[in-house]
A and B are shown apart, each in its own frame.
Chain A
């Protein structure tokens, strides 16, 4: 199979996958890594559990391919399904989760929210991680999308299915909540 992901759009890949399920592999290959990381980031699942969630996510995407509207970025649509699948799994499992973020994620977060210089990051890494674990899920998710995944407001609006104004409000509240919890 030829890798067509470079020259074809996601919408084209969706059409191809509808004609031949083997072509769905192209979409899965493209989104496997970013979606797996996103699932781990918002859920705190270990890699094996996150892979289970991702597999279910891909199957849901495949089942609903005919519902894809190319007015929407495919990545936003895929993130939305991954997000919903993760929330569903998160509710099913009662285990305690620990959120782990790579240093560059923490730098992005800290720089955007609490204005800490990069040198200090390594000292307060644990504090940031703990703060992130303590704040409500809705704030954690939106901060991850904005400052870790680097999504813009429109993409976040499409992923979380919330109006743009609500996204802006949620981000502001989440930042304040993070700051308050971090300074405790």
Chain B
């Protein structure tokens, strides 16, 4: 008996049947959904990355002693790693579609980057990038902890940068601020010309530039609220650091 007939007998004897069509359809839909989802998430990640880079405090870049550290802390690692993961998932799923094998890794990567970059930029300009980042910060505790590293560049009182929240308003010139390391500072804001609309409140988070004047005493020459970019955009521009008096990137201050 020839092999084909023997095979047909085996199929009959062992009651082998073709797998139902819907199992292949479901598998096909699942890989496309996986690919689509990873592209969608990649678009969100790109929008957030653009937002995080643009909302960095670039205006203090020239005033920072360690610019390398500033740049390293400005990199949105969490979202870059997430984007890498989304790319991998997209690649894996596209490769497992019926015709996915026809595309090279480089073609898939270029197409993925082009699509996520264009649509991610669009999403950023709509303002969703910031909303998403804000949503993650508030609702995902681990992400909140990870994203804190961006504020580390402000946690250098010895270099004239301080970040923390107001825990006491002693008078119109003195604030008690607790930094991220739980140190309490008495911050002198008497040299700053604050616009009338500024009203300090307990719990308000501030980014302060200035210098240490004594044990736990800090004199502010510039401060800004530590707020999301969309709220900062609504504020009038802050007065320039050092009141505009600057020489060789150092503030010239008249200390009497």
Contact = CB atoms under 8 A, between A and B. Distances in A.
Interface stretch (A3-11, A90-98, A117-125, A160-168): A160-168
A71 B98 CA distance: 10
Interface in B97-135: 98-99, 101-104, 107
B2 A157 contact: no
Interface of B: 2-8, 10-12, 16-21, 23-24, 98-99, 101-104, 107
Given A62-B16, A63-B18, A28 B7 contact: yes
A145 to B, nearest CB: 15
A32 B3 CA distance: 8
B3 A66 contact: no
Given A55-B3, A163-B102, A164-B102, A62 B24 contact: no
A21 B98 contact: no
- By DSSP majority rule, is chain A's interface helix, strand, loop, or mixed? helix
A31 to B, nearest CB: 9
Contacts of B12: 21
A69 interface: yes
Given A32-B2, A32-B3, A69-B98, A22 B24 contact: no
Could you say which interface size class chain A belongs to? 20 to 34
A32 B101 contact: no
Most buried by A among B2, B10, B24, B101: B101
A100 B6 CA distance: 26
A28 B8 CA distance: 9
B102 A18 contact: no
Contacts of B19: 63-64, 66-67
A14 to B, nearest CB: 10
Nearest to B99: A71
